[in-house]
Chains A and B, each alone.
Chain A
Amino acid sequence: MTTKITQRRGAQMLQKAAGFVRALASLALTVAITLIGLVALTFIIGHVVPIDPVLTVIGDKAPQEVYDRVYQEMGLDRPMIIQFLSYLGEVLRGNLGNSMVSGRSIGSDILRFFPATFELAILGIIIGVGLGIPAGIIAAVKRDTWVDHIVRIVALIGYSVPIFWLALMALLVFYARLEWVGGPGQIDIGYAYSFSRVTGFILIDTALSGSWDVFVNAISHIALPALLIGYYSMAYISRMTRSVMLEQLNSEYVLAARLKGASEYSIVVHHALRNAAIPLVTIVALSFGGLLEGSVLIETVFSWPGLGNYIAQSLLGGDINAVLGGTLVVGTIFVFLNVASDLVYKVLDPRTRALT
């Protein structure tokens, strides 16, 4: 009798495991197709460019035979599909090509600029989650009171304000007028050589230098862009949290808990929030991707040496390769964030687990 049960249980678990593997495989396939599609998109964008890539290499004064030779060397005489496959192969090996302006490898350029963006995004998401989720919960619980209205309006303002303009105004007020924070850039010029760039994260590097002044100076520079990015993500997170929580609070199981006599605190924290946590994971993951986007404009305003600034500068320099490389990297991060949040969703939500 007991052996039968264990056998059945074993078979069930095996079935479950097989289902999980199958779900993982189909997820991996979807991701692979999306990523190849992404490479295809950048390839297509790169090939409708009206700029002749041969001319950027040899200049427009080279004789015809040189032109023809370079044209062949660059593989431009091959069919489009072959060109695409070789491009795909290069990208898979991590080679994003070389900058059309500086000739440097785009991959290593991006690696060099990425930590600065990542650091800002991490700080931004900490601020966004730390303020946005509590604000959203309170707004949902106190629905249609003045607290709710304030949270909603603060969020709507964050949605509506041009972030680069807000950044300029913040610089004007807090840097130029009040002198509370440092200006554009990561650190005062006087401190620029007083620490070594080990990790690329300015706060860690300056902390490692052991000099308190340098560290404080770095904080005074990162505070404003981090707060702005944090506000931007808080607007999104608080709004989404509010609507997810409202949905939970109006559902029948909450009514049941109320009838049972559960305290308001217990209903919010133990029932509604636990269920809201699952969609919140996706929301936070998506907002992290949004921060990478917002960084293009924020970094431009703050002369922040990150990926966004790199892309903006490449755009102005007409360096299409670098722009597409950056787009590809951010797009890939986006896709993986989505996958990660999907997986977390599956692990957290018993219902989706049962379905697979």
Chain B
Amino acid sequence: MSAALQHPSPRQARLRAARSFARRFRRNPLGMAGLFIGLALIFMAIFAPLLATHDPYAPDFAARLTAPGWNYWLGTDELGRDIYTRILYGSRITIFIVALVVFTSAPIGLLLGVVSGYFGGWVDAVLMRITDVFLAVPKLLLALAFVAVLGPGIVNAALAITLTAWPPYARLARAETLAVRNADFVAAIALAGASPWRIITRHIFPICYSSMLVRVTFDMAGIILIAAGLGFIGLGAQPPLPEWGAMIASGRRFIFEQWWVAAMPGAAIFIVSLGFNFLGDALRDLLDPHAKVRQ
């Protein structure tokens, strides 16, 4: 035991680090709230058919625009569909878009940024100028322009958001790479005969992971908001899909009388994006090396 304490194996060390991380994370109430919201969203998406009280698509004109009550917890929309049920199913679309964007834009940005920082020279100059151009246009606007040519729809919306979301990751990964590019350990690996590709994927990528994770968590909130904005303008998910932004758009006509049609899905967007921001804040406090210096 004492020997293990002095020289923990990598696995033990990792386990210990994870445990201490979990302990510190539990002390952050907002972070815990964010984690809870994120898990609740996933739970809702998986068990939507079990949790639903009505059919998300079938119109029921007798019940149209019913106020929230015993039968319809969050009221019904203009076609008499239960809003609670539609929000449940809408969580699947939200998760789908967020996952698609994150799993494409973060790797693209990571690769471009690390390559740019590691090789430097004209590769760096060209890649960073391209990044600058993409960063020069506000995200929502660029996504709108892409959707305008790609056509509306969930996958196209996710694609458009991806095209706008990668540059900050590239910047971040480049900065992390520049910090370690000339470090002794990289020189040692290179001397040992490792190819640039191996150095990048095995040794530089892992260094970027924690700051990337923080950024991804914050970005999830942004992605949800942009996706909802696209849906609201009418360029994201198309009816009858229960996308939250599109649901707000259809409730806009009834906002002064049947306020719940627009209010409920918006509250769902708000809560979920707030959750991811809480989570991002907590993770940053724990993981970001720059934040640690400040404490």
Contact = CB atoms under 8 A, between A and B. Distances in A.
A314 to B, nearest CB: 8
Nearest to A291: B138
A97 interface: no
Contacts of A292: 138
A327 B266 contact: no
A293 B133 contact: no
Contacts of A157: 274
A118 interface: no
A121 to B, nearest CB: 12
A156 B248 CA distance: 22
Interface residues of B, number: 46
A165 B262 contact: yes
Contact of A324 (B145, B259, B295): B145
A166 B130 CA distance: 35
A150 B259 CA distance: 28
Interface centre among B132, B148, B266 (most CB of A within 10 A): B148
A355 interface: no
Contacts of B151: 50
A327 B228 CA distance: 20
Given A162-B270, A293-B141, A34 B133 contact: yes
B137 A159 contact: no
B266 A159 contact: no
B225 interface: yes
B132 A293 contact: no
A41 B232 contact: no
Nearest to A328: B137
B132 A34 contact: yes
A330 B141 CA distance: 9
Contact of A41 (B134, B270, B276, B277): B134
Interface stretch (A4-12, A72-80, A253-261, A315-323): A315-323
Contact of B137 (A40, A161, A334): A334
A202 B40 CA distance: 46
Contacts of B256: 171-172, 176
Contacts of B228: 162, 165
B221 A165 contact: no
A102 to B, nearest CB: 17
Interface of B: 129-130, 132-134, 136-142, 144-149, 151, 221, 225, 228-229, 232-235, 245, 248, 252, 255-256, 259, 262-263, 266, 269-270, 273-274, 276-278, 281, 294-295
Interface of A: 30, 33-34, 37-38, 40-42, 45-46, 48-50, 156-157, 159-166, 168-169, 171-172, 176, 246-247, 250, 289-290, 292-293, 296-297, 300-301, 311-312, 315-316, 318, 320, 323-324, 326-327, 330-331, 334-335, 338
